[in-house]
Amino acid sequence: MSKIKNANRLTGKEVRAIAKQNKKIIRKLEAYKNRKAEETEYLGHMSKPENILEIDNLHTYFFTEQGVVKAVNGVSFDIPKNTTVGVVGESGCGKSVTSMSVMRLVQGPTGQIYSGSIRFNAKLDNGETKVYDIAKMPMDDIHKIRGNQIAMIFQEPMTSLNPVFTIGQQLDEVTFINHPEATKEDAKAKSLEMLDLVGIAMPERVYDAYPHELSGGMRQRVMISMALASDPRLIIADEPTTALDVTIQAQILDLLRDLKTRIDGSIMLITHDLGIIAEMADYVVVMYAGRVIEKGPVSEIFHNPLHPYTIGLQKSKPTLSSDSDTLFNIPGNVPNPVNMPNHCYFKERCGKCIGKCSGEYPRMIEVTPNHFVACHLYGKED
């Protein structure tokens, strides 16, 4: 038995050097975030007019004492109109940070959008559409989009409702913010309508209830109704059913599917459960260690997965229909987020490595129409 120096441990000197460096960058990024800017400064163009959201080479970093954690490291994908895009990956792969970046909710000053663009096709009240680049918007202007054009359903319905206000007060607030001229009666009528829409049996009673009086499934329904109250064009659902039981989860998924057809919007569904993805999504984005490694239509991802990680992920999940004796497992762990290697991040855990894998990080290749993969196995021979 030998004692091996722990490579993750930093000396005080190193920590201070990192802190000094971080301070410099954070100050610059914070100033950019809090600047005053004309609208023209952050207007952009969609590359495809049918898209509602385009994330283009997004980098969101966390400047920690251990070093820079590249939580989102060059993520690009599109969300077309009227589709559900599923983002799947294990914990720490950056799927939640991507959604937080879209909402500009990344916790500063440590967390910062470092570069890239998030173009959103916003529909204004007077009917005209404008393309905003969310990543470049100053924080003062973000209210144009956040909450009314893009709504979010959080994972933990227990903690995302305010315990000291009734459900009614919290729902009415949404209407008052979007329509300041609305009267109390209007707001209540709208709130009751929303509660009814999400399948709450006694909206009047829930309207006057406090969050602690409701069960987990009911609270999640309230959260969904709150997200819908502002008629959003895009709903981001960040693990909406993870905290719920299976029978309640089935109810909520059923509701979400039903709503998508009714509200005429798109859903970005973030989850770690491949079953939910298969059932809900039209298009799937698979993330690993802060990067998109594969994206494609749902039938392609499940019937013709290309990246070894996607294949492994699907094989390692026991299903009700399979009868094998041992589970396939991907060896090892996700690499340390501070010191990411220069080659493919999955190389150490991959069973299909070729010589090229030690080289630079693989580029995204379109293998079949609309099905992209970042893996050297599928590159052109050259």
Partner 1 sequence: MAEVLNNENKTSENILEVRNLRKCFPLKKTMTGKVTQELVAVDDVSFTLKAGETLGIVGESGCGKTTLGRTILKLHKSSGGKIIFDGVDITDLKPKQMREIRKQMQIIFQDPYSSLPPRSTVGGILSEPVAVHNIVPKSEVKDYVLDLMEKCGLRDYYYERYPHEFSGGQRQRICIARALSVKPKLVICDEPVSALDVSIQAQIINLLKQLQKDMNLTYVFISHDLSVVKFISDKIGVMYLGSMVEFGTKEDIFANPLHPYTQALFSAIPQPDPDLKMNRIILKGDIPSPANPPKGCRFHTRCPYATDKCKEEVPEYRDYGNGHFVACHLLQK
Closest CA to 112 of 59, 74, 73: 59
Site string for partner 1, 225-264 (x = CB under 8 A): --------------------xxxxxxx-xx----------
Asked if 4 interacts with partner 1 (CB under 8 A), we say: yes
Cα–Cα distance for residue pair 259/265, rounded to 1 Å: 9
The partner residues of 283 in beta bridges, in order of sequence, read 85, 297
Asked if 321 interacts with partner 1 (CB under 8 A), we say: yes
Query: For partner 1, which is the closer residue by CB, 66 or 76?
Result: 66
State how far the alpha carbon of 355 is from the alpha carbons of 33, 174, 240, 359, 375, in Å.
Answer: 43, 56, 41, 8, 12
Site string for partner 1, 266-295 (x = CB under 8 A): ------xxxxxxxx----------------
State how far the alpha carbon of 210 is from the alpha carbons of 119, 206, 207, 295, 301, in Å.
Answer: 37, 8, 8, 41, 42
Query: For partner 1, which is the closer residue by CB, 40 or 261?
Result: 261
Cα–Cα distance for residue pair 375/344, rounded to 1 Å: 8
Minimum CB separation of residue 167 from partner 1 in Å reads 16
Between residue 178 and residue 217, which ones bind partner 1 under the rule CB under 8 A?
A: 215, 217
Between residue 322 and residue 351, which ones bind partner 1 under the rule CB under 8 A?
A: 326-331, 333
Asked if 1 interacts with partner 1 (CB under 8 A), we say: yes
The partner residues of 186 in beta bridges, in order of sequence, read none
Strand order across the 283-288 sheet: 150-153, 234-238, 266-271, 84-88, 283-288, 291-297, 371-373, 365-368
Query: For partner 1, which is the closer residue by CB, 2 or 40?
Result: 2
Cα–Cα distance for residue pair 45/131, rounded to 1 Å: 6
Minimum CB separation of residue 258 from partner 1 in Å reads 11
Q: Give me the residues that bind partner 1 (CB under 8 A), please.
A: 1-4, 6, 8, 90-91, 215, 217-218, 245-251, 253-254, 272-279, 298-299, 302, 312-314, 316-321, 326-331, 333
